[in-house]
Amino acid sequence: MPDEWYKAMLPKPTRASAPFWEACDREELLLPSCRPCGRVFYYPRIACPLCGSRDLGWRKTSGRGRVFSHSRVHVSFYGDSWKSQLPYTVILVDLDEGPRMLSRLVGTDAGGVASGDRVEVAFTEIEGRKLPFFKRIIPIQEDMQ
Amino acid sequence: MPPLSDKIVIAGIGETPVGKLRGMSAVEIQALAVHEAIADAGLSLREVDGLLNLDPYATPNSMFATTLAEYLGLQPRFVSTVDVGGTVTGMTMLQQACWGIEAGHCEVAVCVYGENALSSRAEGVQGLHMHNLMGGEEWEEPFGVQGMVIPYALLAQRYFDLYGAGPEDLAAVAMTTRAHALLNDNAQMKKPLTREDYFSAREIASPLRLFDCSLVSDGGGALIVMRRDRASKLGLRSVSIRSMAMKATHNSVALLPDIPDLGMQAAGEDAFASAQLTPAEIDVALLHDAFTISVLVTIEALGFAKPGQGGAFFRSGGASLGGRLPVNPHGGLLSQAHIGGMLHITEAVRQLRGGAGRRQVSKARRAVVSGNGGVFSVCGVMILEADQDA
């Protein structure tokens, strides 16, 4: 599918989250990282939800993960203008770096996804913003890379 | 979890008609529920000096307890609008009413919720149309996630994968709950639901089909709370709140924990420990059923079925009237009406007073009520017990 086909409600970044979305525009998936406890987390916040520190940085991820759960959506929750998107697939993905995130699975094989499948980020430009959607990768592809 | 005072009881319940209440606003529906509860307890409105409510989701307001007090013609000493989330708020209002009475802030408190979520909904809108933000928008909306169906679909798929469960398990909950609703004159759904009906209905968000989803409803429910000695002087058949416990673990589905880590189990363990009771001592269960999957996760988290065995419990008739633990004899959010869980509590009280008519659970002495807001984001469990005849 060409990017123009996709619809999304664009995020309204905050001071804490803007670097995440700006990195997406550069096709990088970053996670906030905590300097004192060394852990990464999702989503970006003003303080580490694991230890409470406000001494935070950013860590670049591999952009890969494994599907924790998935749903094929057949109904538009955004009125008639979204009917063109149906059906679409929503996933919870466990990133290789640890945190779980919610995203949308794209690609012609999205409908056949199963939990445990390997996926990688597929930045998709919508109205000038690149969103971190995901696509399936078959194991042999990943081994060869 | 500290116990609630045993000197305070639920002394009355009110329930409005459910379905479409055309031409009624949320404040009118809440006022009607209050009047029904006042009538049930044989009180006069003037005796109410505490008022707690939940703000309507479809038509949100500020200061809604004060708005309702004015509408009713009351000048309470204690007003509070409580919003813990979903079906937890009803029991949280009760808990706060108990604290308010125990601490001397009021003597007779009414807890109420109701709205016109069905008749105020615009044409063509799917599901409950909430006008307030839920907090997870930045991490949900860009990915096509809006409302609660997709979050619960993701939970259901995880439940299938974790336990090898499947759609037959969900269907069993939908069919059992519908069969119960047919025994309740005040229920939106009036026709039986066969297995074929369930599977021929459209898929909304896999693996959830139409009848896995609760109703969108107009209607209201109210509860009256007062001191035990006062209820007993009035000759009221009261119900004791043995315990109430909560656990909040996350908000957005973006941070959904795995099923064994959801807060329902912790809330349940706290509620049973606080009441010094075990699941074996419960006679009837009013379980959160915004979606069929909610019931399976809850019944297992509370220890009534082993992990992954909730569907088998329903299929064997264990959750039906006459079974080991009848679940949602009023038809629940799935087949009676979705009134934010208030009717789970009014039904629990009705069952424990022995006044549930055709759907009465025989010798019902103790009830467990569960609620959750978001996608098991905040969980609440309450244990109620019948008082001896006045």
What is the domain-level CATH number for residue B85?
Answer: 3.40.47.10
- Residue of chain B minimizing CA distance to A133: B143
Same domain, A43 and A114: no
How close is the nearest chain B Cα to the Cα of A10, in Å? Answer: 5
Q: What is the mean pLDDT of residues B338-355?
A: 97
Q: What is the mean pLDDT of residues A12-27?
A: 97
pLDDT at residue A1 greater than cutoff 80: no
pTM of the model: 0.96
pLDDT-based confidence at residue B274 (cuts at 50, 70, 90): very high
Count of domains forming chain B: 1
Q: Which residue range forms the structural domain that includes residue A37? A: 11-60
Same domain, A70 and A118: yes
Decide if B103 is inside a domain: yes
- Over residues B58-85, the pLDDT tens digits come to 888 999 999 999 999 999 999 999 999 9
Q: B220 Cβ partners below 8 Å, 6+ apart?
A: B14, B15, B16, B29, B30, B32, B33, B112, B113, B114, B115, B339, B342
- Secondary structure of residue A140 in the 3-state scheme: helix
Q: What is the mean pLDDT of residues B225-243?
A: 97
Same domain, A43 and A74: no
Residues A77, A103: contact at Cβ < 8 Å? no
Decide if A142 is inside a domain: yes
Q: What percent of chain B has pLDDT over 90?
A: 92
CB contact under 8 A, B141 and A131: no
Distance CA A95, CA A30 (A): 11
How close is the nearest chain A Cα to the Cα of B153, in Å? Answer: 6
pLDDT-based confidence at residue B26 (cuts at 50, 70, 90): very high
Give the pLDDT of residue A100: 97
Q: What is the mean pLDDT of residues B22-45?
A: 97
How close is the nearest chain B Cα to the Cα of A82, in Å? Answer: 10
CB contact under 8 A, A115 and B157: yes
Give the pLDDT of residue A79: 86
Decide if A56 is inside a domain: yes
Give the pLDDT of residue A144: 61
- Residue of chain B minimizing CA distance to A18: B138
Same domain, A34 and A103: no
CB contact under 8 A, B144 and A80: no
Question: What's the CATH number where A132 sits?
Answer: 2.40.50.840
A42-46, A75-79, B272-276, B344-348: segment of lowest average pLDDT: A75-79
Element (H or E) spanning B220, and its range?
Answer: strand B218-227
The partner residue sitting opposite B144, judged by closest CB among A79, A85, A116, is A85
CB contact under 8 A, B207 and A76: no
Distance CA A24, CA A101 (A): 14
Q: How many contacts, defined by CB atoms under 8 Å, are there between A and B?
A: 104
Same domain, A53 and A68: no
- Asked if omega into B56 is within 30° of 0 (cis), the reply is no
CB contact under 8 A, B252 and A102: yes
Site of tokens 């004192």 = A36
Give the pLDDT of residue B222: 98
Decide if B297 is inside a domain: no
Q: Which residue has the higher pLDDT, A25 or A6?
A: A25
Count of domains forming chain A: 2
Residues A121, B276: contact at Cβ < 8 Å? no
pLDDT at residue B4 greater than cutoff 90: no
The partner residue sitting opposite A74, judged by closest CB among B124, B145, B205, is B205
- Over residues B257-270, the pLDDT tens digits come to 999 999 999 999 99
Residues B172, B315: contact at Cβ < 8 Å? yes
Q: Following CA atoms B329, B332, B337, B342 in sequence, which dihedral angle do they give, to the nearest 10 degrees? A: 100
Give the pLDDT of residue A2: 66
- Residue of chain B minimizing CA distance to A105: B143
Decide if B53 is inside a domain: yes
How close is the nearest chain A Cα to the Cα of B293, in Å? Answer: 14
CA angle, residues B111, B327, B215, in degrees to nearest 5: 65
Decide if A89 is inside a domain: yes
The partner residue sitting opposite A74, judged by closest CB among B141, B161, B202, is B202
pLDDT at residue A55 greater than cutoff 70: yes
Same domain, A28 and A75: no
Residue B350 burial (CB < 10 Å; 0-12/13-18/19+)?
buried
Decide if B135 is inside a domain: no
B160, B255, B297: best mutation site toward chain A, by most A Cβ within 10 Å? B255
- The ipTM value here is 0.95
Q: What is the mean pLDDT of residues B102-127?
A: 91
Residues B364, B349: contact at Cβ < 8 Å? no
Q: Is the CB of B252 inside 8 Å of chain A's CB atoms?
A: yes
Decide if A3 is inside a domain: no
Same domain, A66 and A127: yes
Same domain, A70 and A138: yes
CB contact under 8 A, A72 and B205: yes
Give the pLDDT of residue B223: 98
pLDDT at residue A143 greater than cutoff 90: no
Same domain, A17 and A27: yes
Residues of B in contact with A104 (CB under 8 A): 143-144
How close is the nearest chain B Cα to the Cα of A22, in Å? Answer: 14
Give the pLDDT of residue B128: 73
Considering chain B, what is the average pLDDT of its residues?
Answer: 96
Report the candidate in B316, B311, B327, B318 with the shortest Cα–Cα distance to residue B359. Answer: B327
Q: What is the mean pLDDT of residues B298-310?
A: 98
Same domain, A56 and A67: no
Phi/psi for B370 (5° steps) reads -120, 150
Q: How many CB atoms lie within 10 A of CB B88?
A: 31
- Secondary structure of residue B188 in the 3-state scheme: coil
Decide if A1 is inside a domain: no
Same domain, A51 and A116: no
Same domain, A68 and A139: yes
- Residue by residue, DSSP assigns A58-120 as EEE--SEEEEEEEEEE-S-SS-GGGGGG-SEEEEEEEETTS-EEEEEEESTTGGG--TT-EEE
Q: Is the CB of B249 inside 8 Å of chain A's CB atoms?
A: no
Q: Is the CB of B164 inside 8 Å of chain A's CB atoms?
A: no
Q: Is the CB of B261 inside 8 Å of chain A's CB atoms?
A: no
- Over residues B209-229, the pLDDT tens digits come to 999 999 999 999 999 999 999
The partner residue sitting opposite B126, judged by closest CB among A13, A69, A76, is A76
CB contact under 8 A, A74 and B158: no
Give the pLDDT of residue B3: 80
Decide if B383 is inside a domain: no
Residues B12, B40: contact at Cβ < 8 Å? yes
Q: B67 Cβ partners below 8 Å, 6+ apart?
A: B27, B61
Give the pLDDT of residue B390: 45
pLDDT at residue A94 greater than cutoff 60: yes
Decide if A106 is inside a domain: yes
pLDDT-based confidence at residue A141 (cuts at 50, 70, 90): low
A71, A72, A105: best mutation site toward chain B, by most B Cβ within 10 Å? A71
Decide if B19 is inside a domain: yes
Residues A118, A145: contact at Cβ < 8 Å? no
Decide if B39 is inside a domain: yes
Q: Which residue range forms the structural domain that includes residue B31? A: 8-121+216-233
pLDDT-based confidence at residue A80 (cuts at 50, 70, 90): confident
Distance CA A39, CA A31 (A): 10
CA distances (Å), origin B355, targets A12, A33, A58, B347, B363? 52, 58, 61, 9, 11
Decide if B210 is inside a domain: no
